[in-house]
Structure 1
Amino acid sequence: MRPERPPTIASTAAARWNSLLPTISPWLHEEVARRMEERLQWMTMRPESWLHWEPLRGGMQAHALLTARYPKAQCYVVHALAQHGEMARKSLIPSWWKPERWVGPNLQFAEPAQPVQMLWANMALHMTDDPQALLAHWHRLLEPNGFLMFSCLGPDTISELRAVYAQKGWPPASHAYTDMHDWGDMMLHTGFAEPVMDMERITLTFATPQRLLQELRELGRNLHPERFGALRGRAWHTQLLQALAALARPGDDGQLQVTFEIVYGHAFKAPPRLNVGPELRVSLDEMRANLRRIKKNHSPD
């Protein structure tokens, strides 16, 4: 995959979404973080320092799982916006009367002065307009042989909703999500080594179309440049609810099913390569002549 910005993500829409102050981590994000945390049991390195990238959306409950796994490790919590960082601080730092506030290293709410050994980023990459730049930033925050753990949405996400929009002749229901193989290529291009990619599909059910739309609004926004360019009326909203109600399958008690493809990835930061000078070629005759000169210069008078 070429290192360029995704063509189906509008930068202005992505910036607007990332500026919104989350009130709670979505259930799906917390579940994905829990599953990703279980994968840490296979990592041989126990980091002495790690960075949690934007936990307000990525998973505030997951932060407790990670600190329990690495209780002695120094943790840095990083948000791009100060307002988000302040909310995370209020949520993650225990009250002064709780014993856990005084046990273990203090949480730091800024990028570390020195690189860390693990960077944890849950469900963030698919909502940025320049994922290559974000991967490069994460790469700089890691020390050599440190590792990145991340997850994001894959191409099959909300395929049912995409089909509804296509049947109605409406603009795309969402921007396109990147395939896991392309994520692996981008990590290699950024300088990561040994990327390991995996995916799974999670099917969520909803009792009503309204509940489905509420969940989707918590998970993200449609960042496609060709999305609806203006407000839609009540008649359109009624059509949407009716079309979503048709997603219910017989025998599912009227539940609406929507698929989410989850991509998991981890990779190491390769140590710097040794700088090797230009190749020097010497012929056999030149070597013999040099040896004769050396012998002559060192022979006794």
Structure 2
Amino acid sequence: MTDSMQVFDRAAVRAHRQRSAAQWTKHDFLKREVADRLLDRLRDVNRSFASALDLGCHGGTLAERLPEIGKVERLVQCDAAPAMARRAAAGGWPALAADEEALPFAPRSFDLALSVLSLHWVNDLPGTLIQLRTCLRPDGLLLAALLGGESLHELRVALMEAELEVTGGLSPRISPFAEVRDCGGLLQRAGFALPVVDQDEITVTYADPFALLRELRGMAETNAVQERPKGMARRALFARMAEIYAQRFARPDGRIPITFQVLYLTAWAPHDSQQQPLRPGSAKARLAEALDTVERPAGDKADPSIGKIHRGKSPKTAS
């Protein structure tokens, strides 16, 4: 890992989770919601798993729900914060403290790897995905959920505008997140087969921006960017941020929304039994016939009256 890849202060990530462990159940609503949605995807998989890993388990939220699925015989939980690991272990499944960037597991240790809202704090995401693929047995399944690039965009806008007004400059106050268009490539780069990436948007409302900031602190999702401002922020900055947030985004009832974009990664450790792409040129039917159109040599201009397609953006839905 090179210095250029050190986006996040991992010591700060651990410290935030350590601090949040004691009051975790008061602020774990997003983890619970995303865990439920991830387990819905596991329900759709027509097989059982002898051993599974929960990477970034926090307080054991996923493990509480896993018995309802009935597909996993043994589970090992893992979190970067010792206090979170101890809390998770109290639920019955074993747990250990270990960094997501340096997994302590032997190759082919698990049939299933799960991760809920933890991997967006990893500096070397491709490296962690490679480690996860290595610790899976052939034909083992990865199911992971992490925050995507549209997360917290309302707070990001309000903070940027406020900081420009108050200080005349900008600093990294909200973490960068992965983009959905990049995740499939990252899975392939890590050696996974049959990668699928989909997304949800979850919108939550709060009485005011300061209630949101308190919630993010309780969730251990506060800023851990390496280049974040280290000193105390000026009171005027957050006062102005709250004004801008309310002006730009407040709903008719006065409450302010915040958006969490959640990316779900599904992929398999390679195995000979998996579906393989056909050899180029082996197709038995022509695509042009299936589309009822005219095939033209490469470089020829198509008749604009043939095969006309109307493109448009489909609206996003919020949960």
Confirm or deny a common fold (TM above 0.5).
Answer: yes
Change (3 A) 1:19 1:207: closer
Of the two, which has the highest radius of gyration? 1
Q: Secondary structure at the match of 1:195?
A: strand
Instruction: Measure the CA separation in 2 of the matches of 1:74 and 1:13.
Output: 31
Counterpart of 2:188?
A: 188
Q: Secondary structure at the match of 1:22?
A: helix
Alignment of 1:102-251 (within 5 A): 107-109=93-95, 115-168=109-162, 169=164, 170-219=170-219, 220-251=221-252
Residue pair 1:247, 1:257 contacting (<8 A) in 2 also: no
Residue pair 2:18, 2:83 contacting (<8 A) in 1 also: no
Change (3 A) 1:226 1:81: closer
Structure 1 position 108, deviation (Å): 3.5
Give the total of aligned pairs: 254
Counterpart of 2:295?
A: none
Instruction: Measure the CA separation in 2 of the matches of 1:86 and 1:13.
Output: 19
Out of 129-138 and 35-44, give the one that drifted further: 129-138
Change (3 A) 1:62 1:81: closer
Render the CA deviation track for 1:245-293: whole Å, top value 9, x for unaligned: 3344352x101011111101110001389xxxxxxxxxxxxxxxxxxxx
Q: Secondary structure at the match of 2:95?
A: coil
Q: Amino acid of the residue matched to residue 125 of structure 1?
A: L
Could you list the runs of 5+ residues in structure 2 that have no partner in the other structure?
97-103, 165-169, 274-319
Instruction: Measure the CA separation in 1 of the matches of 2:229 and 2:72.
Output: 49
Counterpart of 2:33?
A: 31
Counterpart of 1:291?
A: none
Instruction: Measure the CA separation in 2 of the matches of 1:140 and 1:51.
Output: 13
Instruction: Measure the CA separation in 2 of the matches of 1:12 and 1:108.
Output: 24
Residue pair 1:148, 1:267 contacting (<8 A) in 2 also: yes
Q: Amino acid of the residue matched to residue 201 of structure 2?
A: R
Aligned equivalent of 1:55, options 54, 57, 62: 57
Q: Amino acid of the residue matched to residue 94 of structure 2?
A: Q
Render the CA deviation track for 1:54-87: whole Å, top value 9, x for unaligned: 3225xx3432221221266122222345443222
Instruction: Measure the CA separation in 2 of the matches of 1:250 and 1:68.
Output: 37
Residue pair 1:248, 1:254 contacting (<8 A) in 2 also: no
Task: State the TM-score, normalized to the length of structure 1.
Answer: 0.74
Residue pair 1:119, 1:138 contacting (<8 A) in 2 also: yes
Counterpart of 2:21?
A: 22
Identical columns (%) = 23
Render the CA deviation track for 1:13-50: whole Å, top value 9, x for unaligned: 44544555523152111101111111112212211221
Change (3 A) 1:109 1:173: closer
Q: Secondary structure at the match of 2:36?
A: helix
Indicate yes or no: 2:12 matched with 1:9. no
Instruction: Measure the CA separation in 1 of the matches of 2:72 and 2:147.
Output: 31
Task: State the TM-score, normalized to the length of structure 2.
Answer: 0.71
Change (3 A) 1:128 1:250: closer
Instruction: Measure the CA separation in 1 of the matches of 2:10 and 2:89.
Output: 28
